[in-house]
Amino acid sequence: MKNTPFTQKHLSLGAKMAEFAGFNMPISYTGINDEHLTVRKNVGVFDVSHMGEFVLKGDKALELIQRLTSNDASKLLAGGVQYSCIPNKSGGIVDDLLVYCLEPNQSYMLVVNAGNIDKDWNWFVENNIHGVEMHNISSKTGLLAIQGPSATKVIQSLTEMDILNLKYYTFVKGSFAGIENVLISATGYTGAGGVELYFEDKDNHADIIWDAIFEAGSTHGIKPIGLGARDTLRLEMGFCLYGNEINDETSPIEAGLGWITKFTKDFSSRDIFEKQKMNGVTKKLIGFEMIDKGIARHDYEICDEAGTTIGKVTSGTQSPSLGKAIGIGYVAVNQATIGHSIYIKVRNSLLKATIVKIPFE
């Protein structure tokens, strides 16, 4: 397994570790519920250095991004960030990603999922017909997500950059905790507010940054947070996870990601998605709350009252914030109405649930 710049920190803190996307990652420290509520109420720090980062440069960089992603990156100004996806050529999704505009029309950073780094890189290489300058900086980039209502206060105390007024999905770059060229973006995967912090992994920068953040956050109840709580936090918000809600066979239209699918440009699978937008799809991603006692797990069947299979669960958990079992899954469109009763097949039982709006509340 690969290590991140913070692996020794996790081990010294007694984290429960496990393999994730080929990396030795912390799953939890004090427990998923405690860590989850820490982020919702105060501030928590996630090591997400396993994520992948590519830098694309040159006159054709934007053209390549436009051709290979679904959103319209031409709208990005310097310091802007955009959520998008990489469609394949058969109506599915290679990956979802963030696009950072370092310099309009000239320089961009793409942030991709850890498990898809090689697949995404190869996809861009294969389709780089104009020889765009590309750099895979994943292995030398450290990344922390500082999330929660007190996150920006903690981070602001360590830099002269204006973090408190940083608009959602924008970024700044400068000195942080005495380290130069640190990129801080108002992004995250929790719905609790906060920032993500990118830096070059060299000269003990990881230890300096980690220690500075935890010292600054000591009066705010700061804690390290594992991937277990990261998943429950994103699930409460209804955020898609690659490999669960989206994959090589799922379209962004089916996944409720029509808002990142712009038909003002040409890109892979555009015709397929445009037809889906116009004619409708056969399945739809929905959120649900359990009525009967039980937790819906990934790949459990979703049925109607008669027990006929109408879909499948993609993610499910007991919500630490809401105190009830929730889930996300795909069902046939004619069964996807808010308030409609569905049934989750658990072993030989059908447990009742209700379709609700997401994010959950």
pLDDT for res 225: 98
The overall pTM is greater than 0.95: yes
The answer to whether the beta carbons of residues 136 and 48 sit under 8 Å apart is no
The answer to whether the beta carbons of residues 356 and 290 sit under 8 Å apart is no
pLDDT for res 131: 96
Look at the block and give the residue holding tokens 């900086």: 137
The set of residues, in sequence order, having a beta carbon less than 8 Å from that of 127 and lying 6+ positions away, is: 64, 67, 68
At residue 333, φ and ψ (nearest 5 deg) are: -55, -40
- Compute and round to an integer the Cα radius of gyration of the chain: 21
| 3-state SS class at 38 | helix
| 3-state SS class at 81 | strand
pLDDT for res 232: 98
Q: C-alpha dihedral over 247, 251, 253, 258, to 10 degrees?
A: 70
Bridge pairing between strands 223-225 and 44-47: parallel
Q: C-alpha dihedral over 118, 264, 286, 346, to 10 degrees?
A: -30
pLDDT mean values, one per 10 residues, the chain (361 residues): 98 98 98 98 98 98 98 98 98 98 98 98 97 98 98 98 98 98 98 98 97 98 98 98 98 98 98 97 98 98 97 98 98 97 96 98 93
- Which of 225, 216, 50 minimizes the C-alpha distance to 143? 50
Report which residue type is found at 250. Answer: T
| 3-state SS class at 168 | coil
- Could you give the residue ranges of the DSSP H alpha helices within the chain? 7-12, 32-41, 61-68, 117-126, 151-156, 205-216, 227-237, 270-279
The set of residues, in sequence order, having a beta carbon less than 8 Å from that of 292 and lying 6+ positions away, is: 351, 352, 353
The answer to whether the beta carbons of residues 51 and 242 sit under 8 Å apart is no
At residue 14, φ and ψ (nearest 5 deg) are: 75, 25
Strand order in the sheet with 171-176: 171-176, 179-185, 194-200, 141-147, 44-47, 223-225
pLDDT for res 304: 97
How many Å apart are CA 160 and CA 178, to the nearest integer?
11
pLDDT for res 181: 98
Peptide bond into 5 cis (omega under 30): no
Domains of the chain listed by start with CATH number: 7-50+139-236 (3.30.1360.120), 282-361 (2.40.30.110)
pLDDT for res 89: 97
